[in-house]
Every structure is written in structure tokens, then in C-alpha cells.
């Protein structure tokens, strides 16, 4: 965040995302990161789980991260019990949120992480990357109704309905959270 313009946008509570927030973010053409800094309680964690995939599916090239606030703390309680440097420290230590289709880390980094992990110690992990030209992607959408251009928001259209699948990893290794939106035609 050094030498960068930082814009702060407050939610109206953990369920307080409005069209005003969406409009404000859309007005930031050079947006490169969205940082969630919510209370360290269950409601704050659920709000991050709710809004982070929404932001990543809308802005796939923007980094989405979360400030890990100590359990049952908030900005006010932290400032009451610590100096203001605690806020700066927590922001600097923020963690990028990993999504199901995240391409932020290189394939080599993932292989190295997996090789060092006891879970993957006995497995060989192979990652295949498929690339298409814009013309091929356009033809794919026209021929089979699928749109995979945004890996955080997969789309499929049929005569009966349109589908969108948005997904991301959770903190649990064997867990995955997805949102399926179905619009009947």
C-alpha cells in the first residue's frame, strides 16, 4: 500500500452491501486489490465468505485479501487496547483469499508447496493448462453455450435456463464453497 492511492469504503454492517458499494467500486478503473477488514467474529468471517467471491467473480484480475482480526475484536477494540500501529501491522499481514480457480500462484509454486506438504508427499501432482485465443473462446460460447473466460464465474446457457457457477476454497482442505445461479429462460 506504499505510495498508492487507497480508497476506504465502509459496509453498513456485515450484511450491508448495497448498490452504492458496487457503483463506488466500479468507479475505480485502476483497482488492483480489495481488502476486507471486518470484525473478528463469526459474522465478520461469514461476510468475507459472502462478499469475496462476489468481488473476485466481478473483478477476476483484482487481488482479494482479508485482514485477520483477532477473535471477537474489531477496529475500535483494537485501538482501545493497542496503539494505532496495530492497524497498520494487521493490514500489512493480510492474507490473500484463495479461490477455487485461482491462477495467482504459478504452477511451479504450487508444485513446490505440494512437494513440501506431508499430504502431497506420496503423490505426483500434474497440472494441465488450456489456453484459447479470444476467437476460439467466442466460438466455444456460440457452439456449446459455455463461457469459461472468467474462471471465477463459469457460465452455461441452454434453451431452458442460464447457469453461473462461482466457487472458492474454504479454510478446510477438503471443503469447497460454490454458488450456483439459475435463471430460467
Q: Cell numbers of 35, please?
A: 481488502
Tell me how far apart the alpha carbons of residues 32 and 4 are, in angstroms, rounded to a whole number: 10
Q: What angle do CA 50, 71, 104 make, to 5 degrees?
A: 45
Domains (range + CATH), the chain: 19-96 (3.40.1360.10), 107-184 (no CATH)
At 30, is the secondary structure helix, strand, or coil?
coil
Query: What local confidence, expressed as pLDDT, does residue 136 receive?
Result: 52
Neighbours of 56 (CB within 10 A): 26
pLDDT at 67 over 80: yes
pLDDT tens digits, one per residue of 88-139: 999 999 999 987 654 444 444 444 544 554 444 434 333 333 444 555 545 4
Residue 66 above 90 pLDDT?
yes
The residue that leads in pLDDT, 143 or 39, is 39
pLDDT number for residue 142:
52
Q: Are 127 and 76 in contact (CB under 8 A)?
A: no
Q: pLDDT-derived band of residue 174, with 50, 70 and 90 as boundaries?
A: low
H or E element in which residue 164 lies? strand 161-169
CA distance 74 to 40: 6
- DSSP 8-state code for residue 118: G
In whole numbers, what is the pLDDT of the chain averaged over residues? Answer: 75
Per-residue pLDDT tens over the stretch 28-64: 988 999 999 999 999 998 999 889 888 888 888 899 9
Structure-model confidence comparison of residues 141 and 97, the more confident one: 97
Amino acid at each position: 500500500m506504499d505510495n498508492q492511492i487507497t480508497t476506504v469504503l465502509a459496509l453498513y454492517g456485515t450484511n450491508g452491501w448495497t448498490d452504492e458499494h458496487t457503483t463506488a467500486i466500479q468507479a475505480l478503473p485502476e483497482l488492483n486489490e480489495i481488502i476486507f477488514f471486518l470484525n473478528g467474529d463469526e459474522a465478520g468471517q461469514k461476510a468475507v465468505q459472502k462478499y469475496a467471491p462476489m468481488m473476485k467473480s466481478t473483478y477476476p484480475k483484482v487481488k482479494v485479501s482479508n485482514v485477520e482480526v483477532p477473535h471477537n475484536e474489531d477496529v475500535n477494540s483494537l485501538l482501545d487496547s493497542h496503539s494505532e500501529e496495530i492497524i497498520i501491522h494487521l493490514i500489512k499481514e493480510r492474507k490473500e483469499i484463495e479461490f477455487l480457480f485461482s491462477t495467482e500462484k504459478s504452477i511451479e509454486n504450487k508444485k513446490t508447496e505440494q512437494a513440501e506438504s506431508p499430504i502431497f508427499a506420496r503423490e505426483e501432482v500434474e497440472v494441465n493448462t488450456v489456453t484459447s485465443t479470444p476467437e476460439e473462446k467466442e466460438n466455444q460460447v456460440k457452439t456449446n453455450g459455455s463461457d469459461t473466460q472468467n474462471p471465477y464465474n463459469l457460465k452455461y446457457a441452454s434453451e431452458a435456463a442460464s447457469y453461473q457457477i462461482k466457487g472458492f476454497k474454504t479454510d478446510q482442505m477438503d471443503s469447497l464453497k460454490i454458488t450456483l445461479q439459475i435463471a430460467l429462460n
